[in-house]
Amino acid sequence: MGLFTELKDSISRATDRLFSEQEPKRIGIYGPPNAGKTTLANRIARDWTGDAVGAESHVPHETRRARRKENVEIERDGKTVTIDIVDTPGVTTKVDYEEFTDEMDEEDAIRRSREATEGVAEAMHWLREDVDGVIYVLDSAEDPITQVNTMLIGIVESRDLPVLIFANKTDLEESSVKRIEDAFPQHKTIPLSAKEGDNMDEVYDNIAEYFG
Amino acid sequence: MPHQCTNCGRTFADGSKEMLSGCPDCGGNKFQFAPTTTAAAESADGAGTDGSEAAETASGSADASSSEPDNVATRAAETVRDWVSADSADDSGPDATEQPPSAGSTAAAESDRSWPASDDADSSDSESPSDGEFEEWPETARRPEDRSGSPAAAAPESTGTESDEQSHSQTPSNRPSNGPTATMADDENSAQADARSEVVPSDDLPAHSERSEKGDAESDADAGSVAGPHSEAKTGAGVESDDADHPPEHGRVVSEPSGQRPSIEDLRAELNEQFESIKIVRPGQYELNLMELYNRDEYIISLQEDGRYVIDVPDSWHDGDEDD
């Protein structure tokens, strides 16, 4: 609770100064579980600040609380764009501890599941109040047309937030960027592999252009 | 006393909103869901009492104690039909190609269609000028038995005609005398009873203008106390339905009373599906209604398997601000 209060305070302070130009935009990294959001957040943070944001894992729902990295300064064409990146828990409509029981004992799996559910609630709450732009990360090896994706992108659109779609995991054989482009033709889709660091130049160009 | 502050022990009625701004006594923000048969619920299954089980208990006790399950069912049924018909009215086929059979998929599909007005995704139904009242609408997100009869009780009135009379005669007498809820929900119930007692039979009303005023007053009182989503519809129906033989020509007719009454279980399932933001299937298994989570003002920051939950109380942020 204390942590949250602190976070909230800093958010409301930031909101008060929302219109001052110096204030970095808060960019939420959203997407379904295991799309590579934290890997991307870590890649961006490491590239520009040297620090990581959070732990990555192949087990879904590793990120169960939103994490922020403030004042990430991205240099493009001699200009500097400063953003805060918020790595959010993966959003889903179902959480089942049995998904994790291969990796951990049942008690831990249940706890992870509960925390993941709280994380989704937090992510949705942040989306409503606290982000100025959205990077929507998708696993390009998976079918992008899901209820969660359609709904979240719809919410972002309804709020008129700038959004970039990142087709992550292009290093995988089954990856299909076109499938994502076709699913959301109204938005710019950028292919990348956050894990391998592929195409990060285009990623940063677009971040600077959309959120700068 | 379905909700109880875990700090000072203060209890809150079903449907009470008091705790949404923290416990009025001690300021605590941790509460537990404690159905009227708390002891039974706790002893029945201490660790495993998850949300659904709590719901079962609550509904069981509601049925037993209310002694008018049919009324509850009817009112809730009408509310549900209202929602369903509102849904189907603009249901031109959801775009989402994936329709997982999960709880919340109905509401979610509806949400898909209502993005442009996502902040009032629920207002397509209410079409009321006092939408602000419903922004929080935890009432509608509650299970039927949790709703302390407020919006549900308003629903039948919105049908105008005979159900109007029916609910007038039933509600004031039944509600306040309804043991378990009466003690805790005194505020709400007396306000409702007040509001309803001001409604005179349509035959006694001399002119449209006066009735319209009365209707408004009633609606205001009702909305003020319980933020019933149907207050506007009720006003409209009151004005229009001069003749009890004719249904109102325009305005929403929620439903005609019918012989087919869905069981309380069906209703609960349907309402759960549509309104519950987090459904605890069992410990470790959750189904989430994203649109509900997005739309809620308050937000659950901690779930506990014993039916307890911690909500975020906006006041606590302000306290923090003052420290700055």
Task: Note the pLDDT tens digit of each residue in B94-105.
Answer: 443 444 444 444
Does the residue A175 lie in any domain? yes
Q: Are the C-beta atoms of A54 and A87 separated by less than 8 Å?
A: yes
Question: Quick one: pLDDT at residue B216?
Answer: 46
Q: Are the C-beta atoms of A138 and A168 separated by less than 8 Å?
A: yes
Q: Does B299 touch chain A (CB under 8 A)?
A: yes
Location of structure tokens 């003020």 = B224
CA dihedral B165, B166, B171, B173 (to 10 degrees): 90
Q: Are the C-beta atoms of A83 and A61 separated by less than 8 Å?
A: no
Interface of B with A in 129-168 (CB under 8 A): none
Q: Is the pLDDT of residue B200 over 60?
A: no
Across the interface, do A118 and B285 touch by the CB < 8 Å criterion?
Answer: no
Question: Quick one: pLDDT at residue B296?
Answer: 74
Question: Quick one: pLDDT at residue B30?
Answer: 78
Q: Which helix (H) or strand (E) holds A105?
A: none
Q: Are the C-beta atoms of B184 and B1 separated by less than 8 Å?
A: yes
Across the interface, do A93 and B97 touch by the CB < 8 Å criterion?
Answer: no
Q: Are the C-beta atoms of A31 and A137 separated by less than 8 Å?
A: yes
Across the interface, do B287 and A121 touch by the CB < 8 Å criterion?
Answer: no
Interface of A with B in 117-146 (CB under 8 A): 117-118, 120-122, 124-125, 127-128, 145-146
Contacts A90 to B, Cβ<8 Å: none
One digit per residue, the tens of pLDDT, for chain A of length 212 reads 566 666 666 666 655 555 445 578 999 999 999 999 999 999 999 999 988 889 999 999 999 989 999 999 999 988 889 999 999 999 999 999 999 999 999 999 999 998 999 899 889 988 888 899 999 999 999 999 999 999 999 999 999 999 999 999 999 999 999 999 999 999 999 999 999 999 999 999 999 999 88
Q: How confident is the model at residue B6 (pLDDT cuts 50, 70, 90)?
A: confident
* pTM for this prediction: 0.49
Question: Quick one: pLDDT at residue B196?
Answer: 57
Contacts A95 to B, Cβ<8 Å: 285-286, 288
Across the interface, do B111 and A118 touch by the CB < 8 Å criterion?
Answer: no
Diameter of chain B by CA atoms?
64
Q: How confident is the model at residue B1 (pLDDT cuts 50, 70, 90)?
A: low
Does the residue A8 lie in any domain? no
CA B123 – CA B108 distance, rounded (Å): 15
- Mean pLDDT across the stretch B15-23? 71
Q: A37-41, B270-274, B295-299: lowest mean pLDDT where? A: B270-274
Question: What DSSP string describes A21-60?
Answer: TTSPEEEEEE-STTSSHHHHHHHHHHHHTS---S---SSS
Write the CATH number for A122.
3.40.50.300
Q: Which of B301, B304, B275, B307 is nearest to B288 (CA)?
A: B275
Does the residue A10 lie in any domain? no
Question: Quick one: pLDDT at residue B208?
Answer: 52
- Mean pLDDT across the stretch B142-163? 45
pLDDT in tens, B118-127: 344 344 444 4
Q: Which helix (H) or strand (E) holds B71?
A: helix B69-89
- Residue B93, sorted as left (phi over 0), alpha (psi -120 to 50) or beta, turns out to be left
CA B218 – CA B194 distance, rounded (Å): 9
Altogether, the residues listed in chain B come to a count of 324
Question: Quick one: pLDDT at residue B75?
Answer: 53
Calculate how close chain B gets to A111, using CA atoms only, in Å.
7
Task: Tell me how many degrees the CA angle B263-B266-B270 measures, rounded to the nearest 5.
Answer: 145
Question: Quick one: pLDDT at residue A20?
Answer: 47
Nearest CA in chain B to A107: B284
CA A121 – CA B129 distance, rounded (Å): 29
Question: Quick one: pLDDT at residue B22?
Answer: 77
Nearest CA in chain A to B95: A150
Q: Is the pLDDT of residue B229 over 70?
A: no
Q: Is the pLDDT of residue B295 over 70?
A: yes
Does the residue A11 lie in any domain? no
Contacts A33 to B, Cβ<8 Å: none
Question: Quick one: pLDDT at residue B158?
Answer: 41
Q: How confident is the model at residue B243 (pLDDT cuts 50, 70, 90)?
A: very low
Q: Is the pLDDT of residue B212 over 90?
A: no
Calculate how close chain B gets to A123, using CA atoms only, in Å.
9
Question: Quick one: pLDDT at residue B271?
Answer: 58
For an interface test with A, which of B30, B113, B123, B299 has the most A Cβ atoms less than 10 Å from its Cβ? B299
pLDDT in tens, B53-94: 444 444 444 444 444 444 544 455 555 555 555 544 444 444
Calculate how close chain A gets to B290, using CA atoms only, in Å.
7
CA dihedral B123, B125, B126, B129 (to 10 degrees): 60
Q: Is the pLDDT of residue B294 over 70?
A: yes
Does the residue A2 lie in any domain? no
Q: Is the pLDDT of residue B268 over 70?
A: no
Does the residue A18 lie in any domain? no
Contacts A110 to B, Cβ<8 Å: 283-284, 305
Question: Quick one: pLDDT at residue B28?
Answer: 78
Across the interface, do B288 and A94 touch by the CB < 8 Å criterion?
Answer: yes
Question: Quick one: pLDDT at residue B104?
Answer: 40
Facing B96 at nearest CB: one of A96, A118, A150: A150
| Percentage, residues of chain B above pLDDT 90 | 0
DSSP structure class, residue B175: T
Backbone phi and psi for residue A158, each to the nearest 5 degrees, phi listed first:
-65, -25
Across the interface, do B321 and A12 touch by the CB < 8 Å criterion?
Answer: yes
Q: How confident is the model at residue B204 (pLDDT cuts 50, 70, 90)?
A: low
Q: Does B92 touch chain A (CB under 8 A)?
A: no
In terms of residue numbers, what domain contains A72? Answer: 23-211
Q: Are the C-beta atoms of A61 and A94 separated by less than 8 Å?
A: no
Q: Is the pLDDT of residue B47 over 80?
A: no
Where exactly are the structural domains of chain B? 3-62+276-287+297-323
Task: Tell me how many degrees the CA angle A91-A92-A96 measures, rounded to the nearest 5.
Answer: 125
pLDDT in tens, B299-323: 665 666 555 666 655 444 443 333 3
Tally of structural domains, chain A: 1
Question: Quick one: pLDDT at residue A36?
Answer: 95
CA B301 – CA A127 distance, rounded (Å): 15
| Percentage, residues of chain B above pLDDT 70 | 14
